[in-house]
Amino acid sequence: MKAAPFAYHRADTLAGAVDLLAEYGDDGKILAGGQSLVAMLAMRLTHFDNLIDISRVGELIGIDVDGDEVVIGAATPHALVGMDDEVADSVPLLTLATPHIGHFQIRTRGTLGGAIAHADPAAEYAAAALALDARMEAVSKRGRRTIAASDFFTGLWENSLADDEILAAVRFPVRAPRSGFAVEEFARRHGDFAIAGATVAIDVDDDDRIARCGIGLLGLGSTPLRPSVVESDIVGRSVAELDVDELGRAAMAGLTDVPTDLQGSADYRRRVGATMVSRALRSAISDVTAKVASHA
């Protein structure tokens, strides 16, 4: 099957892309790496009369530090994110998540902003953005605004961007000195979408109590999710007293729209999800414990 006919427009600047999107409105769609959109067009799961290619817009490619945030341009390829030293030092959860994204070819062409804007419930970067409380920079002819990750994902392949807005960059907080990170997911084969998974980011205080906990869930709903009740329950508790197996099961308790498909039933995904959360929490705790010990 081939995609329905469409007009192709290549923007050379962010302003040019914004103008094109404003011109075409609902009939326009941003094309970055195309690793998800092109496949959907080819299978005729969606159609747009105008595709606006931003892959060569230099303003949207790059990684910078702005105060206590790392700012990553939306058109920055996964591969560049995964190999960047600044990301590895300041936002290590992204470095851990990158190898789980598809295969090398996909990571070379796919972009961080495209993966997040696509709002796939099984997307690693989307779950990482939730766990880290990232902020999305949206740009339109009306100006620029920032959207919290917690407000960005609204439904299956849906986000809170307006029709005339482009995701220009994503801002990730620089890690705290006493922090730990982990990504765990289960897929049938390497490169497949995760049946279930979890990203975890924790900070501990000087008394080895959890000061902050962020958990992003993959493949367990129509959007990437955070088990906020479990996160709140963890904060303030000693690292040593956490029962990660019980916390993993608790993270599944409030999920109401876990999908059932050819990969497995909803109950199966919950069992796998509980295990992934437990493993990720255990790994994140081990990570921060090792860092604290090395600086003692």
CATH of the domain at 244: 3.30.390.50
State whether 14 and 29 are in the same domain: yes
Say yes or no to pLDDT of 226 above 90. yes
Same domain, 121 and 79: yes
CATH number at residue 37: 3.30.43.10
Q: Is residue 285 a contact partner of residue 208, using CB atoms and an 8 Å limit?
A: no
**139 and 103 assigned to the same domain:** yes
Residue 248 is predicted with a pLDDT of 98
Is 290 found in the same domain as 184? Answer: yes
Residues 195 and 261 grouped into a single domain: yes
CATH number of domain containing 154: 3.30.465.10
Q: Which residue range is the domain that position 150 belongs to?
A: 58-173
Q: Is the pLDDT of residue 228 over 70?
A: yes
- Report whether pLDDT(15) > 70: yes
How sure is the predictor about 220, in pLDDT bands with cuts at 50, 70 and 90? very high
Tell whether 2 is covered by a domain.
no
Assess if residue 253 is contained within a domain. Answer: yes
What pLDDT shows up at residue 46?
87
**Strand ranges inside the chain, DSSP E:** 7-10, 28-31, 50-53, 63-66, 69-73, 135-140, 143-148, 153-155, 158-159, 166-173, 179-186, 196-204, 210-218
209 and 187: one domain?
Answer: yes
Angle, to 10 degrees, between the axis of helix 266-294 and the axis of helix 244-253?
140
- For the residues 118-128, what does the mean pLDDT come to? 95
pLDDT for res 58 = 96
Is residue 41 in a domain? yes
Residues 210 and 286 reside in one and the same domain: yes
Q: Give the residue from 130, 154, 173 where a domain finishes.
A: 173
Evaluate if residue 96 carries a pLDDT over 80.
Answer: yes
1 part of a folded domain: no
Residue 6: count other Cβ atoms within 10 Å of its Cβ.
Answer: 16
Same domain, yes or no: 163 and 239: no
Domain boundary, last residue among 153, 173, 193: 173
Give the closest residue to 234 by CA, choosing from 216, 212, 219, 254: 212
Q: Please check whether residues 218 and 290 belong to one and the same domain.
A: yes
Q: For the purposes of burial, counting CB atoms within 10 Å of the CB of 10, is it exposed (0-12), middle (13-18) or buried (19 or more)?
A: middle
pLDDT band at 296 (very low <50, low <70, confident <90, very high): low
State whether 62 and 47 are in the same domain: no
Domain assignment present for 92: yes
Q: Tally the domains of the chain.
A: 3
Flag whether pLDDT at 204 surpasses 70: yes
- pLDDT for position 26: 84
Chosen domain end from 114, 141, 173: 173
**159 plus 100 within the same structural domain:** yes
pLDDT band at 273 (very low <50, low <70, confident <90, very high): very high
* Residues 167 and 78 grouped into a single domain: yes
